[in-house]
């Protein structure tokens, strides 16, 4: 009698995509969408994200922001992902998404407001359908699955073009139950949904190899019946191609997909962290050699599309954009203290009435 034995089948065929190598040289012909204008736009947006990051960290260090999660070294993932979405799609971001938010049209002053404790920042004026950023790990994936279900239902009821929900996360979030539950829903219901995982190698101080026994993050999708692709996350063209392909597949009604973008977090986890306590300086120095902005810069210069003079013009433009945004942010009138309830509840729970009234009365007393 044949007696099957337990076996670990942990090897999967996960494809890997790259268009620009670590030095910024093309590894294959670029896709049609990667025109000089498109590449220049991504170059600008990635540098804008880096500038906002730099100023936000300095604002936190001077006590003007509560905390801030930098995207340093991961700008290509956010910019390329958001660029692949159409305006009517719904983006469900996690907290490390300055580049993506900027590309979706969220204003710099809104991003600063978020991390300054002003909930008006989460009410994106130019991306009103997008969800607020989620700080709890992986919760946005279930939110996105719910959104994707609603989009599919509306499509079936009204025969309108199918919109797509996109959930972003770090690789650490894929160890959470919310991730697996969302994957299962998206797989079994063929939801129009794309998971974009920023594999930056560190979940705060926990390295990738201590987070999971899987060989790749992408292969986690296989058990849910969802196709997956691993891409060079510091290659803006590769990320854009992968997310676009996944979006088109979802729009055709073929269901969800997962994109694992390989990158490296060149910054601390947040301004409350000190990464030098758990990772080596040599590892960080090596990662700087293939960071995404320099890589695209090298490619554009080799093609005759970029120069020192153009860079100086861009530096001046972005500095002005940043200064205007800072002025707008700092000139905002503060919200009433009760706004913390107003933004959270459509209907205030009865148990919070007393606290709400007390705060309101105290503020009115101060004002008088």
CA-CA distance, 293 to 73, in Å (whole number)? 8
Residue 169 tokens read as 């996360």
- From the list 43, 50, 265, 295, the catalytic residue is 265
Tell me if residue 55 is catalytic: no
Q: Give the β-pairing of 228-232 and 193-199.
A: unpaired
Q: Sign of the CA dihedral 199, 200, 202, 207?
A: positive
- From the list 91, 269, 295, 299, the catalytic residue is 269
- From the list 278, 316, 345, 353, the catalytic residue is 278
Tell me if residue 265 is catalytic: yes
CA-CA distance, 92 to 169, in Å (whole number)? 9
Angle, helices 36-61 vs 292-302, to 10°: value is 150
CA nearest to 44, candidates 327, 300, 259? 300
CA-CA distance, 97 to 102, in Å (whole number)? 9
CA nearest to 233, candidates 269, 265, 270, 194? 265
Tell me if residue 269 is catalytic: yes
**Can you tell me which residue has the tokens 């989009």?**
151
CB 26 within 8 A of CB 20: yes
CA nearest to 56, candidates 111, 2, 97, 100? 111
CB 146 within 8 A of CB 364: no
Which residues are annotated as catalytic? 265, 269, 278
């Amino acid at each position: 009698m044949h007696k099957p034995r337990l076996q670990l089948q942990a090897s999967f065929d996960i494809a890997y995509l790259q268009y620009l190598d670590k030095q910024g040289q093309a590894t294959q012909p670029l896709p049609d969408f990667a025109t000089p204008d498109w590449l220049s736009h991504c170059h600008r947006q990635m540098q804008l994200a880096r500038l906002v990051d730099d100023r936000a960290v300095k604002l936190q260090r001077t006590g003007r922001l509560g905390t801030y999660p930098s995207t340093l070294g991961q700008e290509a993932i956010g910019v390329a992902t958001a660029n692949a979405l159409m305006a009517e799609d719904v983006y469900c971001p996690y907290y490390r998404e300055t580049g993506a938010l900027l590309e979706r049209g969220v204003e710099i002053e809104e991003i600063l407001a978020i991390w300054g404790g002003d909930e008006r920042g989460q009410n994106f004026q130019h991306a009103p359908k997008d969800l607020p950023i989620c700080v709890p790990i992986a919760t946005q994936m279930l939110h996105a699955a719910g959104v994707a279900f609603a989009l599919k239902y509306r499509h079936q009821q009204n025969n309108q073009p199918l919109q797509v929900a996109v959930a972003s996360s770090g690789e650490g979030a894929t160890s959470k139950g919310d991730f697996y539950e969302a994957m299962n829903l998206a797989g079994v219901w063929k939801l129009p949904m794309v998971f974009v995982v920023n594999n930056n190698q560190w979940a705060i101080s926990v390295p990738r190899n201590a987070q999971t026994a899987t060989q790749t993050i992408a292969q986690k999708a296989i058990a849910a019946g969802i196709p997956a692709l691993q891409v060079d996350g510091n290659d803006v063209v590769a990320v854009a191609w992968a997310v676009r392909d996944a979006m088109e597949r979802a729009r055709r009604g073929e269901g969800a997909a997962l994109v694992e973008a390989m990158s490296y977090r060149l910054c601390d986890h947040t301004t409350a962290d000190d990464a030098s306590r758990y990772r080596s300086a040599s590892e960080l120095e090596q990662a700087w050699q293939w960071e995404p902005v320099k890589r695209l810069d090298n490619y554009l210069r080799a093609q005759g599309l970029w120069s020192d003079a153009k860079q100086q013009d861009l530096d001046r433009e972005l500095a002005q954009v940043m200064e205007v945004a800072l002025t707008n942010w700092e000139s905002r009138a503060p919200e009433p203290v009760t706004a913390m309830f107003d933004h959270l509840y459509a209907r205030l729970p009865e148990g919070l009435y007393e606290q709400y009234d007390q705060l309101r009365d105290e503020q009115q007393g101060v004002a008088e």
